[in-house]
């Protein structure tokens, strides 16, 4: 990769960051997070993530000019750019607050690899947690994230993501059942919505033709009864690259 190619990669990354940044900025100034420094910090982290990516790309380009590539076909498959992929994870969701029990959640995402290391992902997250008195808290979320996929050893790679999720929560009464045959959905007694930051770290093992399996840990924030709540999501994830 020569200097001109490195410049084009950095320019492309900055263009994507700019587009995402402006869209997110409009969300910040139009919702209840306006004026909160945490909202602007999330935008700064996203820009910083891709700026670091540009720096890493430049360093790798300089190193490639000094060393001959080994097993070009294998590296080309591993680092192929503009490669779409889909992922699914299932795991345990734990809300960091009193009166909540651990429960389950599911996450899905679609991503595109835009450089050797970096991807942009769109996805969704859904979790159910049991609250005191058998009530249930349901969280539905749409996610937008930048991801780093860093190979560390043969088919093993480390993954880190940071982004924003747009969430809706529902607090529901327990279902009413009669004779274990007829069940009526519990009444929704509280609803909230908003957007907050999230991050994810994990490790993947690649096998077969484009498939991988791994472990991941995510942190999501949302509001419950006018208080900011954090939650942890420990999962096993599956991913397939096209």
For 72-104, how does the pLDDT look when each residue is reduced to its tens digit (9 = 90+)? Answer: 455 555 545 678 999 999 999 888 877 777 788
Cα separation, 93 vs 103, in Å, equals 5
Q: Are 105 and 41 in contact (CB under 8 A)?
A: no
pLDDT at 236: 95
Tokens of 10: 């950095």
pLDDT at 154: 83
pLDDT at 121: 95
Tokens of 134: 């058998």
Which residue stretches of the chain have pLDDT < 50? 22, 25-35, 68, 70, 72, 79, 178-184
pLDDT at 28: 47
C-alpha distances out from residue 166 to 72, 100, 126, 147, Å: 41, 22, 12, 18
pLDDT at 67: 52
C-beta neighbour count of 155 within 10 angstroms: 13
pLDDT at 162: 94
Q: Are 186 and 131 in contact (CB under 8 A)?
A: no
C-alpha distances out from residue 145 to 80, 122, 148, 164, 173, Å: 20, 7, 10, 6, 33
Q: What are phi and psi of 107, to 5 degrees?
A: -135, 140
pTM over 0.85: no
Cα separation, 17 vs 107, in Å, equals 24
pLDDT at 167: 92
Instruction: Give the ranges where the chain is alpha helix by DSSP (H).
Output: 3-30, 37-66, 72-78
Select from 78, 71, 73 the least CA-distant residue to 209: 78
Cα separation, 102 vs 179, in Å, equals 28
Helix, strand, or coil (residue 31): coil
Strand partners, 156: 153, 205
């Amino acid at each position: 990769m020569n200097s001109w190619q490195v410049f084009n990669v950095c320019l492309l990354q900055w263009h994507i960051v700019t587009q995402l940044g402006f869209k997110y900025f409009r969300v910040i100034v139009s919702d209840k997070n306006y004026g909160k420094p945490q909202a602007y910090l999330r935008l700064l982290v996203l820009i910083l993530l891709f700026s670091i990516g540009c720096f890493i790309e430049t360093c790798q380009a300089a190193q490639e000019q000094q060393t001959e590539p080994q097993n070009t076909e294998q590296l080309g498959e591993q680092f192929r750019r503009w490669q779409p992929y889909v992922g699914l994870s299932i795991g345990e969701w734990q809300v960091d607050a009193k009166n909540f029990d651990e429960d389950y959640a599911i996450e899905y995402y679609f991503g595109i690899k835009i450089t050797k290391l970096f991807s942009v992902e769109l996805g969704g997250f859904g979790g159910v947690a049991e609250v005191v008195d058998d009530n249930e808290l349901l969280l539905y979320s749409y996610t937008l994230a930048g991801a780093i996929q860093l190979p560390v050893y043969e088919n093993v790679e480390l993954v880190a993501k940071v982004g924003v999720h747009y969430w809706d929560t529902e607090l529901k009464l327990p279902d009413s059942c009669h004779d274990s045959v007829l069940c009526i959905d519990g009444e929704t007694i509280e609803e909230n919505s908003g957007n907050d930051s999230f991050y994810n770290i994990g490790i993947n093992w690649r096998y077969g033709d484009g498939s991988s399996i791994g472990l991941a840990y995510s942190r999501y924030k949302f509001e419950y009864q006018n208080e900011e709540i954090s939650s942890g999501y420990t999962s096993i994830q599956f991913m397939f690259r096209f």
